[in-house]
Structures are given as C-alpha cells and as structure tokens.
Amino acid sequence: MQGRARILLATRVRMLRARYGWSQERLAEVSGLHRNYIGHIERAELNIGLDNLERLACAFDVSVAEMLLDGGMEQGDRR
C-alpha cells in the first residue's frame, strides 16, 4: 500500500485543477509552489510535505483531508 497516497494526491490535484480550468502554471501562481513541483506531484514522483499539501488545499479552497480523498468521491457523498 506504500505509495498509494501519492497516487491519490496526484489524481486529486489533476481533478481539482480541471474543475477550476487551471493550467499547472496557474496552480503554481495561486499556490505559491513552483510549476515543476506541481508536475512532480501530478506524476506521484514527490513525497510532498504537509505544509505544501496545505498550500495546495488553500489554492483549491478545500480541506487538507479532501486533497487525499479516494477517486471522484466528495466528502458530501460519504455516509
């Protein structure tokens, strides 16, 4: 199961970025992270730290937990 969280996050970032219609460059601007860093995250190549995970969550206006939800599921869908 090790490494699964990176893939969850990569999927989630791509999904949220698509929802906003943002390029990687735009997400980089909004989050204050480097554009290359965003690319690494979306390819699950990088062991992101919690502080930067929080920057991404802030950029997308979601909770940090929501950055790591499984697949297309929203917290509101959970029972």
The least CB distance from residue 13 to its own copies, in Å, is: 12
Tell me how many residues contact its own copies (CB under 8 A).
30
66 lines the binding site for its own copies (CB under 8 A): yes
For residues 51, 74, 77, 75, the Cα torsion angle rounded to the nearest 10 degrees is 10
Q: Answer yes or no whether residue 76 interacts with its own copies by CB under 8 A.
A: yes
Positive or negative, the CA dihedral 8, 10, 15, 20 is positive
What's the number of CA atoms in the CB half-sphere (13 Å) around residue 63?
6
Tell whether residue 71 is a contact of its own copies (CB under 8 A). no
Q: Is 6 in the site for its own copies (CB under 8 A)?
A: yes
**Residue 67: φ, ψ to 5°:** -65, -20
Distance (Å, whole) CA 29 – CA 41: 15
CB of 74 to its own copies, least distance (A): 10
Residues at the interface with its own copies (CB under 8 A): 1-6, 8-9, 47-51, 53-55, 57-58, 63-70, 75-76, 78-79
